[in-house]
Amino acid sequence: MRILVANANTTEAITRLCADAARAAASPGVEIVPGTPRFGPAVISSGLENAIAAHGILDLLAEHAGQVDAVVLAVSLDTALEAARQLMPCPVVGMTEAACFAACMLGNRFGLVTFGGTESYRRLIDSHGLTSRCAGLVGVDFTPQRTLVDPEGAVRAVGEGIARLVAGGADAVVLGGAALAGMEPALREASPVPLLDGITCGVRMAEALARMKPARTRQGPLAPVRDRESLGLSPALSALLRGA
């Protein structure tokens, strides 16, 4: 089984980190294929960049259509998730989506902790229809940069965020964003609830779905398009729009 781990940022270093985490989570015999878009924001930090990045990640996926068994969107905002499902003939899973659904199967309500603002996560969870399952979101006042020089401070700050979420009713906590991905082992012991890492959950869910070999949706809003013309898109993407 081949799983494409598709970054939506154009920063290769993030792709490598995600691919390493994916390999650590994957079952034996699963090949992780890393992918980085050809164009777009270096690091998505706003809704504007996320909207621009949709094109880039779909352009990337089009290159791999038919050559992988599943896709994990290795980007915290699950960029272009539904469009990716319409584009690709295989299952596509978002890393935050996967972590949220896994959290829902471990407890009644989950929390999400991240660095910085939480508004984009609030809306993402709402778009997944999970608002009623979410006990709260906590944005820790820390940055990925500061984590490099003060890893213990980062763990302490995130741990406090987890404690606040649990006090607010969370039975499980999603670690939101790439910056928190590697922290799960350091946080695990002190945490009173299970912690969910997006890449790990994304790979697990992608494997589970791919093994079911689900039929492709052939009707309705997610059915593949055909005979659609376009201008200035890549050969791979424009071919898929034509249904070629």
Interface of this chain with a copy of itself, residues 117 to 146, rule: CB under 8 A? 117, 119-120, 123, 128-133
CA neighbor of 153 nearest in space, from 166, 139, 164, 140: 140
- Least Å from the CB of residue 74 to a copy of itself: 16
- Least Å from the CB of residue 210 to a copy of itself: 10
Distance CA 113, CA 177 (A): 9
DSSP 109: -
- Least Å from the CB of residue 147 to a copy of itself: 19
Distance CA 202, CA 25 (A): 9
Which range, of 14-22, 35-43, 145-153, 175-183, touches a copy of itself by CB under 8 A?
35-43
DSSP 220: S
The only residue of 8, 193, 198, 199 in contact with a copy of itself, by rule CB under 8 A = 193
Applying the rule CB under 8 A, the residues between 38 and 77 that interact with a copy of itself are: 38-43, 45-52, 54-56, 58
Distance CA 99, CA 174 (A): 6
Applying the rule CB under 8 A, the residues between 84 and 123 that interact with a copy of itself are: 85-87, 91, 93, 97-98, 101-102, 104-108, 117, 119-120, 123
Residues 172-191: x/- map of binding to a copy of itself (CB under 8 A)? x---------------x--x
17 vs 57, beta carbon nearer a copy of itself = 57
- Residues 117, 120, 121, 124, Cα dihedral to 10°: 180
Surface-to-core class of residue 225, CB atoms within 10 Å of its CB (0-12 exposed, 13-18 middle, 19+ buried): exposed
